[in-house]
Amino acid sequence: MSGIKATGEKKLMLFAGRAYPELAEEVAAELGADLTPTSAYDFANGEVFVRFEESVRGCDAFVLQSHSAPLNKWIMEQLIMVDTLKRASAKRITVVIPFYGYARQDKKHRGREPITARLMADLFKTAGADRLMAVDLHTSQIQGFFDGPVDHLFALPLLAQYVGNRIDRSKITIVSPDAGRVRVAERWTDTLNAPLAIIHKRRDPMVANEVKVHEVVGDVRGRTCVIVDDMIDTGGTIVKAADALFDNGAADVIVTATHGVFSGAAIDRLKNSRVSEVVVCNTLPISEEQRIDKLTVLSIAPLLGRAIREVFDDGSVTSLFDGHA
């Protein structure tokens, strides 16, 4: 059987879409469970069909799908899976999203713009989700968009432990690549007992993904600078930030991020940059072609497995991050 039974005949069942089967298998192994057999395919016109091959009545369902490219297709598939579970009488449905699509569209910058991160939460609620679980949301306010419990998981302990074990901590300076990441960077400084530097930049509102780096605030001369961010998309911001740090005397630059989106020429930019190492988690699939020598990928599966177990056992997800959140 694919479910884990507990006292009172509670039954945990893990479901996974087609976006990232490798991570789903890792999470299932952490839980000691099997993935529920599922039939999923596309019709000729692109419509998605889903059917579960086992009864889900009364189960505690966890639906795992990371929103990788083609993002809209995988989001729709996950919504259909939730609707399927709701109509098949699952008792509770938790949507597990290692990377939450549209998280950057969390507010209006100008008039006549959407707040798509809120729309995403509304769609999952309408489909029948009782709870959301995500890793390192772009902004914490997204938790308030969903009308129900949201488990916001943090990769910081995993990433910081790796960095702290690799580098002389007395030489580390944590760097926030912009003002919006300062709060996250401060958590890193608390964890590694390291000083903080901030890169002041301004985006060109007329050119997508165009960033102008102005200055480094903080002393980075002779230091090993660790840039911390939630995601690496095109790599432009990170490479320019690294250049600014080297121009200000940094001895070395390491980049850490939870989500390796790696759009377009991101991998080539990072490969040809002066950054010595790029550390990400496997919240998104990373192809063999993208796995360059300076890229390190850490598994998020143990964290997802522990969080799912805590929710199933009605325990405390927050306790996983005592001292880090």
The residues annotated as belonging to the active site are: 201
Longest dimension (CA), the chain: 62
What b/e sequence results for 204-217 when a residue is b if at least 16 CB atoms lie within 10 Å of its CB, and e otherwise? eeeeeeebebeebe
| Backbone φ, ψ for residue 219 (5° rounding) | -90, 115
Place of tokens 């200055």: 215
Burial 77-96 (b: 16+ CB within 10 A, else e): bbbbbbbbbbeeebebbbbb
* DSSP state letter for 34: P
One-letter amino acid of 82: V
Asked if residues 251 and 219 have their Cβ atoms less than 8 Å apart, the reply is no
Q: What CA–CA distance (Å, rounded) separates 270 from 290?
A: 10
**DSSP line for 177-238:** SSGGGHHHHHHHHHHHT--EEEEEEEE-TTSTT-EEEEEEES--TT-EEEEEEEEESSSHHH
**DSSP summary character for residue 136:** S
Q: Encoding tokens for residue 45? A: 């016109």
Going by C-alpha positions, the residue among 151, 179, 132, 110 that lies closest to residue 303 is 151
